Amino acid sequence: MADYALLAPLSESVDGVPRARDLGAEVGWERSRLSHQISRMEKRGLVTREACVDDARGSMVRLTEKGRDAIDAAEPKHAEYVRKLVFDPLTAEETHLFGDLMDRILDSVERNAR
């Protein structure tokens, strides 16, 4: 799950190489936990660290081809797990209501994020 927590946002990153601190903020991890997890993932070839051109103290995290393959393989299993836990217990009517509620919440978040 720790790998997935980082691989998912990396795979969705606009430029594909976010700053480590931004990645940590996105997943809600402290710097130490993030650094240790990135080191473990580097050893397995899932990500690489690069120097930050804007700040010599910072680092960037790049998803490797092996990392992309790992997230591509994990996504269907993750989606199945979410479906099993969240949607399977609901009736069709409850699923529709849930979707409506999530749309309203998302609209509120987007309006207030400006």
pLDDT of residue 32: 92
First to last CA, the chain: 32
pLDDT of residue 62: 92
Distances from the Cα of 34 to the Cα of 86, 95, 105, 108, angstroms: 28, 35, 29, 30
Residue 14 above 80 pLDDT?
A: no
Q: Per-residue pLDDT tens for 28-82?
A: 999 999 999 999 999 999 999 998 887 777 888 999 999 999 999 999 999 999 9
Domains of the chain: 2-112 (1.10.10.10)
The arithmetic mean of pLDDT across residues 89-112, rounded, is 94
- Sequence-separated (6 or more) residues with CB below 8 Å from residue 37: 2, 3, 6, 29
